[in-house]
Chain A
């Protein structure tokens, strides 16, 4: 059971009641709003039971994941795998003790490794993930789960069959405490009637990697190949498209994507600049844009309601209230930042550091931990908990009653919030359909059945 499951059923009244603790804290002299269900305790040096993790795919993103895994006290990076030797060697230098191989089958055959993180190119996920599940490993699979909806469905269905194992989709925002803190603002109706959502991802980068030989160059630039690339909306937009759907607790009925090669005219046929209009129930629409040509304003989302707007930028967020909006009670005392002609009330989870309230300079700084850190922490911890629960259960009852074990795993295991196979599948469907719309140049209707795993 997730610690934050209760957050799924929010209404305005409960939300206001829940924020009274924060209000009290602010009246006592503090000015920041902090996540009410902040982590209860930080132990100084927990002699933690560590999970041996294997990382498959050591490209740029794989190495970012490695950086975060090495920071996690609960994880031991025990295996590294990449089919390209220089990449494998590069990461092996960072973790000399880890078992290194170019063949993922060899890594999966290593019984010491109980969990694997799959960060290969999207179109290579299926084969590896299915083999990993079959080998009894817990699996963290990057998103999109696959480059086709059919493959994504096969992956998600296989994950659901392996109930003794954790399957986590790499939708890292779903594990981010800041997002869990912000979700009730959207869900509770604190913003009034929702009018629209805007989201963007801007970064000046070519998406092209150079390589000493043409074969490797083709392999490493899979994002620029129309056959296997899921485009900007698939590879990058999936996180924000999913976050909006998650916050609104709804899946869209239509997506209309637009794409152009605005700047990187190097012979590619995958758009470097895209927009998408995504229709949610009750006339609510997300306007999304992403470009590889300019980095101004980077990444962010803005939720517009009739009473207030919430702007999310990385681990920071602000609320901008309308003059005629009712008071929520705490915001008078909260910290405010000026943005051109508007004043935003700071909304930050602040990761349990109530003590930071007295220190404005510290309070201004961004949280040190990116969402992917929390996602991997959830994966490693949940893997450990599920492995222990299976072992404990079978030490009493043996393996004769799988349904009783399944029930124990659903009730007796305390999981940190993370995207599961169904979440990963739905997000993949939306992102792939959005990209398909860009490629086709016309809107695509999304039937509710499309989001169901039959």
Chain B
């Protein structure tokens, strides 16, 4: 019985990991949809503006969060450590900084609702009206 309970909990925890990841922006952002490449360029610091010219601000989860590793794996094909090393290289060179980190989904969603420049990722869930999805990253879309 106890073993069964652990399995259920494990399923519940791992549930979001297996689900689609949604990339969201403020609902007032004129951008309706983004290509995967555009998302990569934004999150990896290559561009700092949405298509159309509006400045963009990437929001990230805290290092060590399972969704974060999943997101980068799905987006770039690189591991979390590789992505961190990438940022470390850029930070060391100067004038560059990685996306601002938040502790959980709720904090992220709240920031996106408040910030018109924000772009962030969350697991599939019921989203509030202040945000909109610009791209879905399905698991299979490696």
Task: Say whether A and B bind each other.
Answer: no
Interface, chain A (partner B; CB < 8 A): none
